[in-house]
Amino acid sequence: MSIDPGTLPRHFLPLCGTQPDCLGAAAALIQPSVPTFWLGETAPAAVLALIPQASDDLTLSVLPARKAHTLLGQECGLLVFDAFSGFDVNAFAAVLGTLVGGGTLVLLSPPWDQWPAFPDPDYRRFLPWPRTLADVRGRFLARLVRVLAQDRHRFRPLPVRAFRAFDPAAGDAYGMMHGYGQGIHQTSPWPAPALRVPTPAQQAAMDTILQASAPVTLTADRGRGKSALLGLLATRLQQQGRTPILCAPSRQTAITALRHAVTAPAFFAPDELLQTLPAADVLLVDEAAAIPVPLLARMVQHYPRSVFATTVHGYEGSGRGFVLRFQALLASLAPGWQALRLEKPLRWVAGDALEAWVNRVLLLDLELAGIAETGGLAGDGDVPADGITPMQLDRDRLAWDEVLLQQVFGLLVTAHYQTRPSDLRQLLDAPGLSVHALLQAGQVLAVGVLSREGGFDPALAQAIHTGQRRPHGHPVPQSLCFHAGLLEAAVLHCERIMRIAVHPDCRRQGLGVHLLMQLQHHARLQGADYLGVSYALTPGMQTFWDRAGFVLARIGQKRDRASGCHSAIGILPLTPAGQTLAAHCQSVPGG
């Protein structure tokens, strides 16, 4: 008799110790009847030996975390994540959605008191040359361990040497004794793959969409059946003789929707869709939050009957920004639009503790508080309000102060259409970063993040100029040196504006300019020759940076697939050498 995973909680087994011991203990947990995903660069021979035997009785996938996206749309009952190979938080957040109710997450890591000091290989993704793993403070992992420790009645580290494999004959007594639940050993057959039959909530949403004559937004957290609904909807439209087309940031993103359609609809990436404008009765867009709002607006204008689905909280993109910006735009473009939301999870029980924990530790469910809730902002026009305090935020404090961290990261999430969990880790840990804010009465009104770049010696700068070297990081100096032919851009010191965000409730009140002045002041104190910024070249963005005094230094030749726009680099000189560099920039650069 099969059990509905939507009625079961998921379980968490954190195994701590040396990597060989943890790998061996996790290998002992694999069972033929339980679909298993093993994420990590290293798997013990006992696991690898099982792969040739894979059959209907053994579903085992072993792959590095960087390929976790290939598992989206699938389901597992045992998920092993090897943090020794690198704690890729994007992969972790993504693949956790494949673990169904009744299943168990096994996280392999050093002992928790040692984990923050562990030289995590994943740090390399944000280590600029010539920084090394030793330059990382481990703030993100320290916070992760602290959040775990706050919930010790549910999530407790298990020293691997104290762990003994479960005895099927004895049931799950060990797991029950230590509070790890009954997720590893199934007492009933593993649930069969879900049939292409909508749930009542999906059916109600489908009925509304089929009757709609204007755009519909469909929002949900992960595991609610949003993407599956798009596939079911495509089938229903085809049965009615109507032609649907499917759009998503990538085909892999849309794999769940495609799998739930009896006959897969034609798929188009955003740039291809807007270049070809294929005929369709209904446009279905999955993970719309990961597509820039200007592109979504063009879709609405060409396809009046459209469905824009997105994950509100998750690694897929900034769903909150989608709600604030795109739905506000729909009010003017399509006044008859409707908003639908799926609430109940399908893959695990409502109130799942594992979902709540990962949302908390990765800040996936942030809701930005309104300024009005704290008394409002006293300012008007281009003059910022009184009582605003500019401040460089200490990142040690940021990692410990949850209220401050949520305000800062919430602003960054809302302002950027593609924010991932790795951005949180980079914010806390990346060497060379500084975080700046404008505060009023304890409320963060605006945030800016700077990254120290450039300052290469002349020989290395020459190698970059000729294309012989490409040191990791330093995107603005390297691009200007190699693509725009400005050799001095790599030799000079640059502070790059990685992110800048103003609270939606107090925009157009001069705070952006006020924050830029603060960033300039900091950059001068650091001895930078120029401020740099890379942005999507839209009229609004170019106007903002032009008014701030930035010189357009380079325009990319190709449109960016994510934004649909050409990328631009602007610089603001801070020293005489920086002014000379700005003078060498052409008004309409190539490259």
Token readout for 196 is: 């292409």
Pairing relationship of beta strands 566-573 and 551-559 according to DSSP bridges = antiparallel
CATH number for region 5-177: 3.40.50
Which residue do the tokens 């009952």 mark?
77
Q: What is the pLDDT along the chain (591 residues), one digit of tens a residue?
A: 456 777 788 999 999 999 999 998 898 888 877 889 999 988 877 777 766 655 555 678 889 999 887 787 678 899 999 999 999 998 998 899 889 898 999 999 999 999 999 999 999 999 999 999 999 999 999 999 998 888 766 666 777 766 654 443 343 433 433 344 344 444 344 554 454 678 889 999 999 999 998 999 998 887 888 999 999 999 999 999 999 999 998 887 788 888 889 899 999 999 899 999 999 999 999 988 778 788 888 999 999 999 999 877 654 445 555 666 777 788 888 888 999 999 888 889 888 989 889 989 999 877 777 775 444 444 444 445 568 999 999 999 999 999 999 999 989 887 776 678 899 999 999 999 999 999 998 899 999 999 999 999 999 999 999 999 999 999 999 999 999 899 999 999 999 999 999 998 888 888 999 999 999 999 999 999 999 999 888 888 888 899 999 999 998 877 765 556 788 999 999 999 999 999 998 644 454
Other beta carbons within 10 angstroms of residue 381's beta carbon come to 8
Other beta carbons within 10 angstroms of residue 469's beta carbon come to 17
CB 452 within 8 A of CB 526: yes
Which residue do the tokens 């090897």 mark?
82
For residue 394, the model assigns a pLDDT of 97
Pairing relationship of beta strands 566-573 and 338-342 according to DSSP bridges = unpaired
For residue 98, the model assigns a pLDDT of 87
CATH number for region 200-342: 3.40.50.300
Residues 6+ apart with CB under 8 A from 114: none
> Is 323 buried (19+), middle (13-18) or exposed (0-12) by CB count in 10 A?
middle
* Rounded-to-integer distance, Cα 5 and Cα 10, Å: 9
> Is 269 buried (19+), middle (13-18) or exposed (0-12) by CB count in 10 A?
middle
For residue 561, the model assigns a pLDDT of 58
For residue 180, the model assigns a pLDDT of 42
- For the chain, the structural domain boundaries read 5-177, 200-342, 371-584
For residue 172, the model assigns a pLDDT of 40
Q: What is the pTM (predicted TM-score) of this model?
A: 0.84
Beta-ladder partners of 536: 567
Token readout for 128 is: 């600029």
Please give, one letter per residue, the 3-state secondary structure of 436-473. EEEEECCEEEEEEEEEEEECCCHHHHHHHHCCCCCCCC
For residue 249, the model assigns a pLDDT of 84
Token readout for 498 is: 């990685």
Domains 5-177 and 200-342 share a fold: yes
Instruction: Report residue 284 CA to chain centroid gap.
Output: 22
DSSP conformation class of 485: -
Domain 371-584: CATH superfamily, name plus number: Gcn5-related N-acetyltransferase (GNAT) (3.40.630.30)
Which residue do the tokens 């609809």 mark?
265
* Rounded-to-integer distance, Cα 487 and Cα 461, Å: 7
Which residue do the tokens 């200490």 mark?
394
* Rounded-to-integer distance, Cα 395 and Cα 397, Å: 5
